[in-house]
């Protein structure tokens, strides 16, 4: 179970503390078990800072605390604080990465499920689509619906989503597409053949909706499979 530690402190020497944390990151390379750290400053109190540190488990957090580098730098950190920092230990009982869920909804509900109107809740009105196969930049929700409709006209298909990575306002999804050629597609008459290809889609989010997308996939391989004798 994912474990999160919250460190709450006050300091007038944040620049020094920031350099101290940079030193800890360098010194624990290859040894630390922390996977993600976020530092926030209180808008109502510029000397109040909160650090949120994520670990794979409570056991991993304890192993991280036992590192000599952690103990040494913690002592130095306390010296920079106005009073002793407080710690809150949390077992994560729900972790919903909302942008990842929105990206999955595109593949599962819209592309495979065929519910084109779902796009109205997933994409911004000025969505920009970068797909090298189209040869032009698609703009707007209508463009997304038309692209999905074109693929669904040509194939009975499904997506298998392998990995999703999120950072900031970006979500990258690695997928495998498998389909049966049942309709006209790129001037090719239906062949009834089955084909598959792998690809990656990167979506950028704005206000909880997808505002830009980049596609990378091997359409030449797809066409070779459809043209096979």
Q: What are the pLDDT digits (tens) for 184-212?
A: 988 888 999 999 999 999 999 999 999 99
Q: pLDDT class for 229, splitting at 50, 70, 90?
A: very low
Task: Give the fold, CATH level 3, of 98-227.
Answer: Nuclear Transport Factor 2; Chain: A, (3.10.450)
Contact 203, 170 (CB under 8 A): yes
CA atoms within 13 A on the CB side of 82: 9
Task: Give the fold, CATH level 3, of 3-91.
Answer: Alpha-Beta Plaits (3.30.70)
pLDDT mean across residues, the chain: 92
Contact 185, 216 (CB under 8 A): no
Report the alpha-carbon distance of residue 210 to residue 107 in Å, rounded.
13
In the chain, residues under CATH classification 3.10.450.50 are 98-227
**Neighbour tally for 137: CB within 10 Å:** 11
In the chain, residues under CATH classification 3.30.70.100 are 3-91
pLDDT of the residue at 228: 58
Whether residue 107 has pLDDT greater than 70: yes
Strands 155-167 and 48-55, bridge-based pairing? unpaired
Q: pLDDT class for 133, splitting at 50, 70, 90?
A: confident
Model confidence, pTM: 0.78
Contact 211, 124 (CB under 8 A): yes
């Amino acid at each position: 179970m994912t474990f999160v530690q919250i460190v709450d402190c006050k300091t007038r020497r944040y620049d020094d503390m920031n350099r101290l944390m940079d030193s800890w990151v360098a010194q624990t390379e290859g040894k630390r078990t922390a996977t993600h750290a976020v530092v926030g400053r209180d808008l109502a109190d510029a000397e109040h800072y909160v650090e949120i540190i994520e670990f794979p488990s409570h056991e991993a957090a304890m192993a991280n605390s036992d590192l000599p580098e952690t103990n040494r730098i913690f002592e130095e950190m306390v010296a920079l604080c106005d009073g002793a920092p407080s710690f809150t230990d949390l077992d994560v009982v729900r972790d919903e990465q909302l942008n990842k869920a929105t990206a999955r909804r595109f593949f599962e509900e819209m592309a495979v499920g065929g519910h084109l109107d779902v796009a109205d809740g997933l994409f911004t009105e000025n969505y920009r689509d970068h797909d090298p196969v189209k040869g032009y930049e698609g703009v707007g929700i209508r463009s997304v619906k038309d692209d999905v409709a074109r693929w669904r006209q040509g194939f009975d298909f499904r997506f298998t989503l392998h990995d999703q990575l999120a950072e900031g306002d970006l979500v990258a999804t690695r997928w495998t597409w498998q389909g049966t050629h049942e309709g006209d597609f790129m001037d090719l008459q239906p062949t009834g053949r089955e084909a598959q290809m792998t690809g990656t889609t990167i979506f950028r989010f704005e206000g909880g909706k997808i505002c830009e997308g980049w596609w990378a996939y091997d359409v030449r391989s797809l066409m070779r499979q459809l043209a096979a004798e």
